[in-house]
Structure formats: C-alpha cells, structure tokens
Chain A
Amino acid sequence: MPSWPEQTKYISKSTLRIDAPPKVTGKARYSSDIQADGRLYGMILRSKWPAATISAINLEKALQVPGIKAAITAKDLPQTVRFYGEEIAAVCGTTKQACLDALRAIEVTAQPRPFVVLEDDAKKDDAPQVWDGKSNVSSSPRGSGEQGTVDQAFPECAAVIEGFYTTPVQLHNPMETHGNTVSWTDEGLTAWASTQAISASRDGFAGPLKLDHSQVRVITDFMGGGFGSKLNGSVEGVLAARLSREAKAPVRLMLTRFDEALAVGNRPSSFQKIKIGALADGTLHAFELDNYGTPGISGGDVDLPQPYIYKVPNSRVKQTHVAVNAGASRAFRAPPHPPASYAMESAMDDLAAKLGMDPLEFRLKNDSNEVRQREYKIGAEKIGWKEKYQKPGSSPSVVKTGLGCAGAAWGGGGASRNTQGEAQINPDGSIEFRLGVQDIGTGTKTVIAVVAAEMLGLKPEQITVKVGDTNFPPGPGSGGSTTCASISPTVFDICANALQQLQTQSGIADARGDNWFAACKKLGVTPLLVHGRWQQGDPGRPLSSSPAYGVQFAEVAVDTETGLVTVKKIVAVHDCGLIIDTLTLEGQINGGIIMGMGYALYEERVMDDLSGVVLNPNFETYKLSGIGDVPEIEITLLNMPERGVIGIGEPATIATAGAIANAVANAIGARVFSLPITPAKVLAALGKVPPFVKS
C-alpha cells in the first residue's frame, strides 16, 4: 500500500507560492480582469424595501440610457421581496456609469409590506411573518435533545454558572467580491467565475438556464477568497449570463462592497443561554443550552454543536431558528464552530472562576483529547501561562492584562474521494498537472507543485500547474477544509502512475530526479498522458484523514477607562496531519486568527429596525481587523505524517474569539457577554456606563 515518503525534500518544508510573482506583479488575472472581446459591464438593481410585493418594473428608460445594451428583470412578476437588497433587475452596458444611470432609470412599482429584521422582534407573536402563513420561529429537532438527567444533575454540582452569550451576524467580505465574467453564445456558456467550486458553479448556470452541463465551462484561474460564501451557483451569475445572451456580448458582473453586505451570505447570529455546572473536583457534570439565531430568510443551519469539545454526562440542548427579513446565511469558515466555541469556552472560564480553578487546568481535566492535551501544554509554555496567569481582575493599574485560551475541533469532510487529475509529460521533460480544483487563495497550486516535485524528484518550479477549469478531470469544491486532503493523494497517485508508465516505456528503472529528462526523451514525439485519483493509501498510515484539533492562547491589554482592547499576542498550536507546505499553512493560520480576531472585537452586521436596511454595508462601519490591530502571532505546528494530510482552513479560525474573550474577562474580572467586544461593551461590563433613562 502506498504511503508518504519518510524523508522529504519539499513536503513539510517551506516553498514560496509558485504563483507569487504573477500575484505581486498584477499579472494574475482574476474574474474581473478577463478582457473578453466586446465585454460589457453588468449591474444589479436591488430592493430598497426589506419586504414588498413588486407588481411592475418598467425598463424602458433604462434601455434608453446611452451605452445600455440590455435590461432584464430578475424574476417573473409579481415578485415578493423578503430582504433589503434582494435582486430585482439587471442591466449591462459599455460603461459602469451607463449602468449606474440605467439602474436609477428603472421604474419599480412596489407595495411595501411589514418587515422584521431583529431576532427578538421576530420572535414576538404579533411579528410580521417573513414567510406568509409560517411562524418566524421554528425549533430544531436535530439541534435539540437531552442526554442523562439534567434536572437531577445541577443540584449535584459544586458550582453552577449561567450566562447569556451572544454573537452577531458576521459577513464574509472576501477581498474579491462575488461575480463573474460570462459569455453565452450559441456554442455554449463560458464563465470566468469567482467561485470556490467550479463544478457546482457550472451546475448553477446549467440548471436555471436549462443548458447541458457539457455546454457550460467554468474557469477560475485566480480567485480572491470566499470563506464559504462562493460554494454554489449564484443569482448574480445567472443574471450575468442572461444579460450576455440578450446583449450578445460577454458581461462582467462583479458585485460591489455594498452588495456584499446584503445578499451573498453571512454567519448566523446566536443568542446562547447557557447553564453549566461542575462537581467539586472540577469535573463537568451538567449543561443546558437554549439557543436561537437567525439565518435571515433562509432555512439555513443555526444549530450549534454544544457543549462543543467537552463531554458533559448530563446535557440538554434546545435550539430555535428565527427568520428575519435579511439576506440568507451561507456556510462561513468552520460553520457553526466559532459561535459555539466562543460561548462554551467563555462559560468554561466563568465556571473555572467560580470553582476557583485555573482555566487551563480546568480544560486539561475536562478535555480528554490527547492531541489538544499536548497542544495546551505547548501553548502554555509559549505564552508563559505559569509566569503570567493571574486570577480574573487582579492585574493592577488602569490598563489591565489578561490571558485566555480555547480549543478547536474540525471533523470537516476529510477529503473528496472522487478527486481526479491528470498530468501530461512531454518529451522535453516538462510536465503539466491539470486538476478540476480551484485555488481560492490558499496555495492549492503550490501544494500540487510541492507534492509532484517531491514524488518525481524535480523542483517545484519545474512543475506546471493548471487548475480551475471544468474541462479538467473533476476535483472537489473548496469547502470544509477538504481541498489539500483531496488533491495531495490525487497528485501522489498521478505521480505514481506517471513513474510506472514512464519507466515501462523508457526502460529506465527509476525515472525520478536525475533520470527524469533522459526517461522523457525516450517518449519520442508523443507526450505521455497519465491519470490519477484520490487514494486512501495504507489504512494504518493513510494518505489523508481527519479530524484536526488545535488550541489558541491570547494575551490582551484592556484599558479600563476607555474600554479599548489590545491583543498583544496570539499563540496558536495546530495539527493537520502531514504538513505539505509549511509557509502556506502558516499563512492559513495567520488568516484564520486575524478573521477570528475580527469576530471577537470588530465585526457585526448592523440591521436598522426602523428602515430594515443593513446600516453598515461598507468597511467604514463594518469593521475588519486592520494592520494596526494585528498582534504578534506565534504558530507551533505538530507535524503528524502518520495521519496523512488534513485541512487547516477552518480549525485555524475557531478558537480565536473564545481565547480573546477569555483573556479580556481575565484582565478586567468581568465578562463581556456579547461579540464584538467593543470599548462600549467593556465599559458597560465594568459598570462605568450610566443607565439609560428614556426621556
């Protein structure tokens, strides 16, 4: 049975991204950079009502705007609009300004309807119904249940705490917005798509447009992030295609930052009422959760895997979905772990404080996972837990320091077992890999080059990598942290097949390394095309597996007079089986931590209950971690080759918010029960904000 080599030259070492030069020089062409002949700009008219019935749309005046080539409605009329920003119509034209003018010229006749955008309002009996004839509130049978005997167990506890921990709706806001350049002619449809899944994107065009899959080609050469919000076909893609068909020209329709806040996904909110208790020796004994949250208008998943990574013998969980008039949620990096981790890890620290236990010891006692046990010990050493940890609130002076930690687990999807790929080996020794996967910015192309170079005895820069084309052998969507674990064994298999065939054809016993070019020369004039697919390998030493764990520690300083939280250091200890490329792996972890920090301290979609609009559809008031906020990040990796390749994208972001929230609570001796932890909330937790008196 095949397994990964024990001695490596490139695997588990650091290789610069093979596409770093085109990225930093601007040569890399993203979906919006495609200069198809005669390309038009496309734009979408969105509902300015959070709920309405649209009875008429007059496109006449829009079509009269100079430069406009087509204008279409998004749906058949009458259209029921259920959230602010829902797509109503679209135009395309020769300039962006023409499109902007045309959008303003579209006449919409709408009957506004009652709406509700806040979770607590939507729960009321007399709340406007987001879906006619259906309650906004639905309990989740799958997310609810009881183990053990909770009501008996709480009185047996030596310490019990209760808390109401809340997390906001978080927006994906990838740097590259959603969108496509689409050309639809009689020959078929080609979409240069900003997608995490070219195959699903293809189906997302073919289905609604009633095309054969074979008539649709999706290309994603370079892609600027998605975080789960670009896993499927899209309304904006279909609108771009229809505009292209109508205007008989390629259409580039990229969303704006404003659009991104409205209609292309988000992480559901959570409102978690937690009660948790432990026995006198610190063993977790009873847990109860009553959680509700909103996935917007969708039936999306708001259930949280509580009590997360801890085993509590007596546990009762009740979860409720609340519909509101807001954009639908989508998968968002490690769904639904970050809100679960934040609340559970906060409750763990609050309970440890009540027990008078060190929260790290409390975790080591209650977390039986051996990998995390190792990781906690390494992390504690790196952050200086023993020397620096103080009881909550005991840091002297106005600016108080604190430490916190939290753990993660990501079962994820492991790997996509249908992943395939091919390589063309040319007589001159050049070799090109083609996989129908996409590199969403995580370094997938580099992973392919590193594995291939290792297996063939070549250098990564000698490997040509082509991905992001539905004409290539099918690959996985990039979701669930499965990409690396899907493609690495696939490339391994392609290489094994390539060597076998090349050695047979050339008569050279070992075609690797120094013999490579001599062996290829013997191919004559006909290149060798080899195929390969994902293999599990030796079950005792698999090529890929799951899950991943990981722990993070945070050190913060909190100004108790201004409420400002400064993260001074994050220590991250992670495992992901066999490390392929250390450099891109560390990049993933850095990104996960910075995103988790935004979740902890800055990010929140703000809905206005009076108008129903998203109030902060921009980076001015939807606040993201900036360079001035990012602390020192120290990463320690456990390389575990015996486990094979495991993805890291998601585990890297799970523990950050919980670790930071706990460090803040440790610093100030008070819990901020709600993310993001803003200066306003810190001052309130410290009891410094005068009570509001309604005048």
Chain B
Amino acid sequence: MKAFEYATALSTDSARELVAGHGAYLAGGNDLLGLLKEYLVPGPDILVNIKSLPGLNKIERGAKSWTIGALVTVGEIERDAEIGKVFPGLRDAAMEIASPQIRNVATVGGNLAQHSRCWYFRHRDTVCLKKNGDLCYARNSENRYHSLFTGNDCISPVVSSLATTFAALDATAVVLRDGKETRMSMAELYQKAWKEVTAHNSLNPGDLILKVEIPTARGRSAYLQVSDKHAFDWALVSCAAAAEAAGGKLKSPRVALGSISPVPHQVEAANQFLDGKTLDDATASKAADMILAGATPLEDNGYKVPLAHALIRRTLLKLKGEA
C-alpha cells in the first residue's frame, strides 16, 4: 500500500483536523486496510487512529433510547445480554457478521461505513463504474450477488447487516460533520449511494460517525439472513424487522432488507400496511409482495426475489413468535 503517516487522536476535534481532506480514520481496520492494500481507493496521507477517542466505545442505556458508540465492537453487541433482550434483532445481526475474530475488532462505525463488496469493485484489475471506469461489469456478466433495486448504473448492494437492523429499529446515526453533530436516519446515511455511482454512503470526506441512537419503543425485533454457507459468509439477502407490542397487533412496524439495494431497502407503504395488523402468513406475504414490488432481477440474481420474500415473512413472523 501507499506509505502513510500514522497518528492517534485523543479528541474528535484533533481527529478531524488530522484527517482534514487527506487522511482516513482507522478503527477496526477490517475494511480500510483491505481497500488500501489493493489500491482500490486513493491512499490517504495519514491514518488517524480513533480507537482512543473518549466515550465512543460506550453503550448508554436510557429508558427511551440507547446510544451505542461508534467504537463499540460487533463482538460486544453480540455478547451484551441486555441488548439481546431489548434489541434481539440487533444481537442476531451481530452474530451473523463475519467470524468471531473479526467481530472482536470490527466496530459499529466501521460496519456502517464499509465500502462495496462487489467482486468487480474489489478486484485489483477491473476498473468498474465505482472506480470511475466506464462499465458496470456486473450488469453485463457475473451478478449473482448484486442488487434487485438501484437508482443508478451501479448495482453493488449495501452489505452492512447493522445498517439493515438499525433501519428497522429507526435508529439515528450521529455524524461529526464540519465540526457539528449531524443526525441521519439510516435512509439518509445511505441515500447518496442510491443516486451516485461512486458513492457507497452519504458520508463526506472527513465525516466521522460518532454513535447510533436507537429508540427502545420497538420492543420486538428480529433479523435473519441467508448465505451460501452457514457461517462467515456475506448475506445473499438479509432482513430485519421491528415493531412495538400492542395487544397482539403490530404497532409502528418497520422492515428493512440488505444486499438487494445500495441502501437498506425499505418500503414505507408496507410499514403502513402492517401497522395495526395481527400477523399471519397472508399478511406477512402481502407485505413481502409490497416490499419486493418493482424488483428488477438481472440474469443471475433472480433467486433473491423468492429468497427475500421468504425472509420477510419469516422475520415478521418471528416478531410474533417473540410476543
């Protein structure tokens, strides 16, 4: 990789100043170092270690909302007994991520900010649209792992399982932008990737995710994914759902899917349809139809439609099962 300087920041202000336009933040490093080693992104002049930033590795447990610091590891989420009770879907999503070794260093912020896993983007010798080339290879060749929905010419999907789950939980990312804290829903955190070929999220250079706030109102949540393998594999499709419990009926339900769109895939009409409903197979199936309406499969990823349909139904019914 390109040579770089290295510094450890002790405050968010100094981290921001050190990065300023020519650096990159380093937390778990799982994604960043892979990108740098393969020269997939312009190499930063400086890597700023943010692991010592005060407060960002904490989980704050409020009555109405919890705050999970950006430096909390995926492994800590997985092992936190209380998270398993308050946000079971989040715990289940964390458990599916990568391997125990990776989960122990992977951070919440890094998981949300991770770049595309498209095998053309990640290949050192293909220059695809996302790398400012003039061709989406996946669209014209091997697209088994790609999106069913997109708002631009790139079809690489968002793969952050935490983003999918946070979207269902209606969580808010708090991002340090130009010295000020900016609040973004998961839809906002990724919306730029919907429209812009080279974007994989809405963060600007120098932006730093500080924490994620999760309202506790949705006491039921669930997450399911299916991969080619049983562990240590990316989701072919992932699905998260969350709702409040109200006398056997769903209240304020939210469903989000990963790996089928450059953004966590959410259909507001489906959430509204489910609101106030008693869950049964037919209702779940109708919601799944609504969520997947307009999917445009490519040559090799049509299987994601029935797979997503099954996962939506199962995730929703899991909400019921845990009542």
Q: Could you tell me which A residues sit within 8 Å of B by CB distance?
A: 48, 84, 97, 100, 258, 559, 561-564, 566, 601-602, 606, 608-611, 613, 615-616, 620-621, 623, 625-629, 678-680, 683-684, 688-692, 694-695
Q: A48-B125, A608-B141 are in contact. Are A563 and B119 (CB under 8 A)?
A: no
Asked if residues B311 and A562 are in contact (CB atoms below 8 Å), the reply is yes
Shortest distance from the beta carbon of A66 to any chain B beta carbon, whole Å: 11
**Cross-interface CB contact of B142 among A100, A559, A615, A625, cutoff 8 Å:** A615
Shortest distance from the beta carbon of A667 to any chain B beta carbon, whole Å: 17
Residue on B nearest A49 in the bound complex, by CB: B125
A-B contacts, 22 of them at CB < 8 A, read A84-B125, A561-B306, A561-B314, A562-B307, A563-B303, A608-B142, A610-B140, A610-B141, A615-B142, A620-B117, A621-B119, A626-B231, A679-B236, A679-B303, A679-B307, A683-B303, A683-B307, A688-B306, A689-B302, A689-B303, A689-B306, A690-B297
In Å, the complex CA distance between A683 and B232 comes to: 22
17 extra interface residue pairs, beta carbon distance < 8 Å, beyond A561-B306, A679-B307:
A561-B307, A562-B226, A562-B310, A564-B230, A606-B119, A608-B137, A608-B142, A623-B228, A623-B233, A626-B231, A628-B231, A679-B226, A680-B144, A680-B300, A683-B303, A689-B302, A691-B302
In Å, the complex CA distance between A613 and B125 comes to: 8
Chain B residues with CB below 8 A from A616, complex form: 119
B299 at the binding interface (Cβ < 8 Å): yes
**Cross-interface CB contact of A564 among B123, B126, B140, B226, cutoff 8 Å:** B226
B120 at the binding interface (Cβ < 8 Å): yes
Asked if residues B125 and A611 are in contact (CB atoms below 8 Å), the reply is yes
Chain B residues with CB below 8 A from A606, complex form: 119, 142
In Å, the complex CA distance between A97 and B311 comes to: 45
Shortest distance from the beta carbon of A557 to any chain B beta carbon, whole Å: 11
Render B137-152 as a binary contact track against A, CB cut-off 8 A, 1 for contact. 1001110110000000
Q: A562-B307, A690-B297 are in contact. Are A611 and B119 (CB under 8 A)?
A: no
Shortest distance from the beta carbon of A73 to any chain B beta carbon, whole Å: 20
Render B211-255 as a binary contact track against A, CB cut-off 8 A, 1 for contact. 000000000000000101111111010000000000000000000
Shortest Cβ-Cβ A-B pairs, 6 listed: A628-B231, A561-B310, A680-B303, A628-B230, A688-B306, A48-B125
**Cross-interface CB contact of B137 among A562, A611, A626, cutoff 8 Å:** A611
In Å, the complex CA distance between A97 and B3 comes to: 9
B305 at the binding interface (Cβ < 8 Å): yes
Asked if residues B305 and A626 are in contact (CB atoms below 8 Å), the reply is no
B296 at the binding interface (Cβ < 8 Å): yes
Asked if residues A629 and B229 are in contact (CB atoms below 8 Å), the reply is yes
Chain A residues with CB below 8 A from B119, complex form: 606, 615-616, 621
In Å, the complex CA distance between A579 and B123 comes to: 47
Shortest distance from the beta carbon of A545 to any chain B beta carbon, whole Å: 39
B86 at the binding interface (Cβ < 8 Å): no
Chain B residues with CB below 8 A from A564, complex form: 226, 230
Residue on B nearest A607 in the bound complex, by CB: B142
B267 at the binding interface (Cβ < 8 Å): no
B129 at the binding interface (Cβ < 8 Å): no
Residue on B nearest A562 in the bound complex, by CB: B226
Shortest distance from the beta carbon of A327 to any chain B beta carbon, whole Å: 15
B135 at the binding interface (Cβ < 8 Å): yes
Q: A562-B311, A615-B119 are in contact. Are A626 and B126 (CB under 8 A)?
A: no
In Å, the complex CA distance between A566 and B226 comes to: 12
**Cross-interface CB contact of A566 among B230, B300, B314, cutoff 8 Å:** B230
Q: A566-B230, A628-B231 are in contact. Are A695 and B296 (CB under 8 A)?
A: yes
B298 at the binding interface (Cβ < 8 Å): yes
In Å, the complex CA distance between A626 and B229 comes to: 8
Q: A84-B125, A613-B123, A690-B302 are in contact. Are A563 and B307 (CB under 8 A)?
A: yes
Shortest distance from the beta carbon of A269 to any chain B beta carbon, whole Å: 16
Asked if residues A611 and B302 are in contact (CB atoms below 8 Å), the reply is no
Residue on B nearest A564 in the bound complex, by CB: B226
Asked if residues B142 and A692 are in contact (CB atoms below 8 Å), the reply is no
Residue on A nearest B298 in the bound complex, by CB: A692
Chain A residues with CB below 8 A from B297, complex form: 690, 692
Render B189-204 as a binary contact track against A, CB cut-off 8 A, 1 for contact. 0000000000000000
Shortest distance from the beta carbon of B92 to any chain A beta carbon, whole Å: 15
Shortest distance from the beta carbon of A61 to any chain B beta carbon, whole Å: 16
Residue on A nearest B309 in the bound complex, by CB: A561
Shortest distance from the beta carbon of A232 to any chain B beta carbon, whole Å: 27
In Å, the complex CA distance between A421 and B78 comes to: 55
Chain A residues with CB below 8 A from B230, complex form: 564, 566, 626, 628-629
Chain B residues with CB below 8 A from A258, complex form: 124
Residue on A nearest B296 in the bound complex, by CB: A695
Chain B residues with CB below 8 A from A559, complex form: 226
Chain A residues with CB below 8 A from B233, complex form: 623, 626
In Å, the complex CA distance between A97 and B1 comes to: 8
In Å, the complex CA distance between A561 and B237 comes to: 13
Chain B residues with CB below 8 A from A679, complex form: 226, 228, 236, 303, 307
Chain A residues with CB below 8 A from B142, complex form: 606, 608, 615
Chain B residues with CB below 8 A from A678, complex form: 228
In Å, the complex CA distance between A616 and B233 comes to: 14
In Å, the complex CA distance between A609 and B143 comes to: 12
Shortest distance from the beta carbon of B272 to any chain A beta carbon, whole Å: 26
In Å, the complex CA distance between A632 and B144 comes to: 30
Chain B residues with CB below 8 A from A683, complex form: 303, 306-307
Q: A610-B135, A692-B302 are in contact. Are A628 and B229 (CB under 8 A)?
A: yes
Asked if residues B141 and A609 are in contact (CB atoms below 8 Å), the reply is yes
In Å, the complex CA distance between A312 and B305 comes to: 43
In Å, the complex CA distance between A601 and B297 comes to: 23
Chain A residues with CB below 8 A from B228, complex form: 601-602, 623, 678-679
Shortest distance from the beta carbon of B239 to any chain A beta carbon, whole Å: 11
Chain A residues with CB below 8 A from B232, complex form: 626, 628
In Å, the complex CA distance between A691 and B297 comes to: 9
Chain B residues with CB below 8 A from A611, complex form: 123, 125-126, 137
Chain A residues with CB below 8 A from B1, complex form: 97, 100
Q: A564-B226, A623-B228 are in contact. Are A613 and B300 (CB under 8 A)?
A: no
